[in-house]
Structure 1
Amino acid sequence: MTPMKLLFFTAALILSSGSVFAQETNPPTGQAKDKAPETAATQNAVDMPQAAVGDHWSYDVFDDITGAVKESRTWLVTDVSPKDITCRVELAGSSTTESVIIYDTYWDIVRDGGIRWSPHNFGGVQLPLEVGKSWTFKASEIDMKGQVWKKSGQSRVTGKETVVTKAGSFDAFVVETKFVRRNGNDASPKSDFTMKTWYSPVIDHWVKRSTIVSQDGHVVQNDTVELTSYGRRKT
């Protein structure tokens, strides 16, 4: 996977996605998500189904600059524990695994191959799923050479929308995120990310996510992923 693709799929399938949802008040960075106070908001929150081995989600990746479909990928759950979820990422038309990603149980990436995040990449979900929530975050990304990259930004749940893709029609929470990624040893060069994620509690994943990456004020990447199919292992 190229560095630019890796930025997109680990920072994007950032949100969070897709998709990060905060608690009633912004918790300190790294605070355990399962320690949120039991308020009326959490009692009425939308439930997330538990991930299971065999669950899968497939996406088309669109280059919004050219309008072409760049590729298609599938996330397949291969292992689930009380602390994490392991997914095998497969590129359509390829017989080899492109990447193995380890998430926590809220879909925040902890490790992607040889790349890891501390505490995680803040690309998952947090309860309650509630419009108007906003939060700031900071994280460190350590690549395979030991280079540290710093990420800081802010997310907000801006609304609910019905999204139609090849996989069907979904009611989704909309999360808008902006963050900066820069070399931990040099604060000058940086990449600015603007992301928008549509997360569906019903399928426990994002159904759509757009990512724009700018460097020195110039757009270098503008991609959208859309759900084409999904499934849960029958038990």
Structure 2
Amino acid sequence: MKQRIAHDLAALAPAAVLLLCGGAYAQTVPTVPASAVQPAVERVASAATYIVGEQWTFHYENALEPAKNATYTQTVSRIDGDRAELNRGASVLDANGNLVKIGDASYEPSDGKLRFPMRVGDKWTSSYTYHTGSWESIGQRQTSVVGFEGVDTAAGHFDAYKIEQVVAWRAGGGGRGEGSTRETDWYAPAVGRIVKADFVDQATHAAPTTTHVELVRFSCPQ
């Protein structure tokens, strides 16, 4: 897999630092206002090459159930072939950076949100089976890469692919229930992860669940 290349921050601010991480450059928080950041320049992105010790901290917000709001950290603890294990196997990413496992939940073969090489205009469909406890659901995902733009997060400003996702899901394993989800993701090649996501899950005859996930910190081993 090719190395990740970050947008050159040198012209943005003297305090903006580029960190060498697994052969890729990662952005730190700029010290200039978003209005001064140069326009994003699209590149064809290759899949990330993760290294042990890379760390991402995210903040999760659930509008329907605020008690679930949380800030959590994921650290690459092991590389196993084309998979990266996070937090000693608590979560697993596949070769494209898609989730295979997160906590007690799993996706077969993965959640399928990302595909590489990536460029604006790419579209694909995928399917997965999701398991958590006794619950099983089957999802049919439609994905479109609709743009390449700058995005501001609590971790700083990143050049990112804007990705629209629509999923139709139904209960599996003899269960009942169905619904759909709509999600907008921003994938930043500089850190090899989705750095911002807005998600709405609408089960039939139920209130919609709206969630927001955002990167708040990124680091790599020195």
Give TM-score, length-normalised by structure 1: 0.68
What's 2:82 paired with?
83
| Equivalent residue pairs, number | 180
Change in Cα spacing, 1:130 to 1:214, as seen in structure 2 (3 Å) is same
Contiguous gaps of at least 5 residues in structure 2: 1-42
1:80-159 to structure 2, matched below 5 A, reads 80-88=79-87, 100-123=90-113, 125-145=114-134, 148-159=136-147
What's 2:195 paired with?
207
Q: Distance in 1 between matches of 2:80 and 2:151?
A: 31
Q: Distance in 2 between matches of 1:216 and 1:202?
A: 38
Report if aligned partners of 2:47, 2:96 keep a CA contact under 8 Å in 1: no
- Alignment RMSD (CA, Å): 2.6
Report if aligned partners of 1:197, 1:210 keep a CA contact under 8 Å in 2: yes
Report if aligned partners of 1:60, 1:69 keep a CA contact under 8 Å in 2: no
User: Displacement, 1:177?
Assistant: 0.4
User: Displacement, 1:110?
Assistant: 2.3
User: Displacement, 1:143?
Assistant: 3.8
What's 1:228 paired with?
216
User: Displacement, 1:232?
Assistant: 1.2
Structure whose CA Rg is larger: 2
Percent identical among aligned pairs is: 21
Q: Distance in 1 between matches of 2:85 and 2:157?
A: 27
Secondary structure of 1:207's aligned partner: strand
Contiguous gaps of at least 5 residues in structure 1: 1-43, 90-98
More helix by share: 1
User: Displacement, 1:69?
Assistant: 9.2
Output the amino acid matched with 2:160. A
Give TM-score, length-normalised by structure 2: 0.71
Report if aligned partners of 1:212, 1:219 keep a CA contact under 8 Å in 2: no
User: Displacement, 1:155?
Assistant: 0.6
User: Displacement, 1:120?
Assistant: 1.9
Between 1 and 2, higher relative CO (CA 8 Å, sep ≥ 6) is seen in 1
